[in-house]
């Protein structure tokens, strides 16, 4: 039986992320009943992303406790599902306020999935790390380009919903700043020769607070405030 040691901050960070994701999942699932029907899909997708995070963090924590090391695949299996789900949630959140093309939906899904897959290939040495890092970076920049300058930004700017514009600003900021932690970790392991002695896992677990928990809560808050406005209108 593996026992926690008090100074083991890495294990503690896994537990904080695990419990936080569980609380976020419950909150978001409850929140689907509090918002208008047009916002429910976005909130539910964020709940599923947080739920996926629970499984991946739990497996990573068990790997850490067993061998004081977390193989890279434990991080990527969760990201491969949760990050595309969050991109889709953002798409439907904006789509509730205006028309978005089906082509944009499929581009976002494919690019977000490929972004994670290519980074994994590089870190797992199935692909040249430099090439994988650069391709993954291009995919991430493409997503940011769509969020800042594409159809979604056009819909939000022309929307009459003040809460949607504010929520979209913060959600887009999370994808910009929060998601930057992942390619940074990729860079440190692939080019700087950094081995995960626990510090990288701590950084990823802290990132989960922003990228999975805060993202989902921001979607719920945007939907709730927009629902409240429509109720009082």
Domain coordinates of the chain in residue numbers? 9-232
Across 121-130, b (16+ Cβ under 10 Å) vs e yields bbbeeebebe
d(C-alpha 76, C-alpha 197), whole Å: 18
pTM of the shown model: 0.91
pLDDT for the residue 221: 96
pLDDT for the residue 6: 55
Token readout for 76 is 């990527």
Low-confidence ranges of the chain (pLDDT < 50): 1, 231-233
Q: The dihedral of CA 121, 122, 126, 130: what is its sign?
A: positive
pLDDT for the residue 5: 59
Fold observed for domain 9-232 = Rhopdopsin 7-helix transmembrane proteins (1.20.1070)
What's the Cα-to-Cα distance from 195 to each of 140, 171, 188, 190, rounded to whole Å? 24, 31, 9, 10
Listing DSSP states for the chain in one string gives -----TT-HHHHHHHHHHHHHHHHHHHHHHHTTTS-HHHHHHHHHHHHHHHHHHHHHHHHHHHHHHHS---HHHHHHHHHHHHHHHHHHHHHHHHTTS---HHHHHHHHHHHHHHHHHHHHHHTTSS-HHHHHHHHHHHHHHHHHHHHHSHHHHHHHH-S-HHHHHHHHHHHHHHHHGGGHHHHHHHHHHTS----SSHHHHHHHHHHIIIIIIHHHHHHHHHHHHHHHHHH-
pLDDT for the residue 233: 45
Burial (0-12, 13-18, 19+ Cβ within 10 Å), 192:
exposed
pLDDT for the residue 70: 82
d(C-alpha 87, C-alpha 206), whole Å: 20
């Amino acid at each position: 039986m593996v026992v926690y040691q008090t100074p083991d901050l890495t294990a503690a960070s896994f537990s904080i992320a695990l419990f936080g994701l569980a609380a976020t999942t419950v909150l978001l699932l409850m929140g689907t009943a509090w918002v208008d029907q047009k916002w429910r899909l976005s909130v539910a997708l964020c709940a599923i992303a947080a739920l996926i995070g629970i499984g991946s963090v739990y497996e990573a924590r068990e790997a850490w406790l067993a061998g004081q090391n977390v193989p890279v695949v434990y991080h990527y299996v969760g990201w491969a599902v949760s990050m595309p789900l969050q991109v889709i949630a953002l798409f439907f959140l904006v789509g509730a306020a205006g028309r978005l093309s089906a082509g944009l939906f499929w581009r976002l899904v494919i690019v977000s999935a490929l972004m994670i897959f290519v980074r994994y290939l590089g870190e797992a040495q199935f692909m040249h790390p430099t090439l994988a890092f650069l391709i993954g970076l291009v995919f991430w920049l493409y997503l940011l380009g769509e969020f800042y300058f594409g159809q979604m930004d056009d819909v939000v700017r022309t929307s009459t919903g003040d809460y949607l514009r504010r929520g979209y600003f913060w959600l887009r900021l999370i994808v910009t700043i929060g998601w930057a932690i992942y390619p940074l970790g990729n860079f440190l392991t692939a080019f700087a020769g950094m081995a995960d002695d626990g510090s990288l896992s701590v950084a990823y677990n802290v990132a989960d607070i922003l990228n999975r928990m805060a993202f989902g809560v921001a979607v719920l808050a945007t939907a709730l405030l927009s629902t409240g406005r429509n109720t009082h209108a």
